[in-house]
């Protein structure tokens, strides 16, 4: 079974802090993704990475950055946390190719509160 592990289930930080969310997958997947999940808005893609050191902006990248130094690890960084970044953050990984029919595999999520 694919395992996507997010470092924290719950996190509380203060406005202006730099926040790191870590994600590790154990299936050698090329693609990794960061989403945020908000009630009534579903999942929105923040950033994704299709290879080590490669990244692309998703739909809502403002206020975030990412790092992928190793294939199995994908980090989301909130440069200066703000209260509107309070949300559930989901990491996912997936394979490449096969006409795109591979599903993504999700972690348990990190519920981040910015005070």
Q: Which residues bind other proteins (CB under 8 A)?
A: 4, 30-31, 33, 35, 40-45, 48, 50, 56, 58, 90, 92, 94-97, 99-104, 106-109
- Taking the C-alpha atoms of residue 61 and residue 97, their distance in angstroms, rounded to an integer, is 25
Of the pair 58, 61, the CB lying nearest other proteins is at 58
The CB-of-50 to other proteins minimum distance in angstroms stands at 5
Return the ∠ at Cα 95 (arms to 92 and 101), rounded to 5°. 100
Question: How far is 80 from 59, CA to CA, in rounded Å?
Answer: 19
Q: How far is the CB of 42 from other proteins (least distance, A)?
A: 4
Task: Tell me how far, at minimum, the Cβ of 6 lies from other proteins, in Å.
Answer: 9
Nearer to other proteins, 57 or 73 (CB): 57
∠ at Cα 40 (35, 45), nearest 5°? Answer: 15
């Amino acid at each position: 079974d694919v395992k996507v592990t997010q470092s924290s289930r719950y996190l509380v930080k203060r406005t202006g802090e730099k926040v790191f969310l870590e994600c590790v997958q154990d299936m050698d997947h090329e693609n990794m993704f960061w989403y945020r999940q908000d009630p009534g808005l579903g999942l929105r893609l923040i950033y994704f990475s299709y290879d080590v050191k490669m990244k692309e902006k998703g739909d809502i990248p403002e206020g975030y950055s990412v790092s992928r130094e190793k294939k199995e690890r994908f980090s989301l960084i909130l440069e200066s946390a703000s209260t509107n970044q309070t949300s559930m953050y989901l990491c996912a990984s997936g394979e490449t190719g096969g006409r795109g029919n591979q599903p993504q595999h999700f972690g348990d999520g990190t519920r981040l509160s910015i005070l």
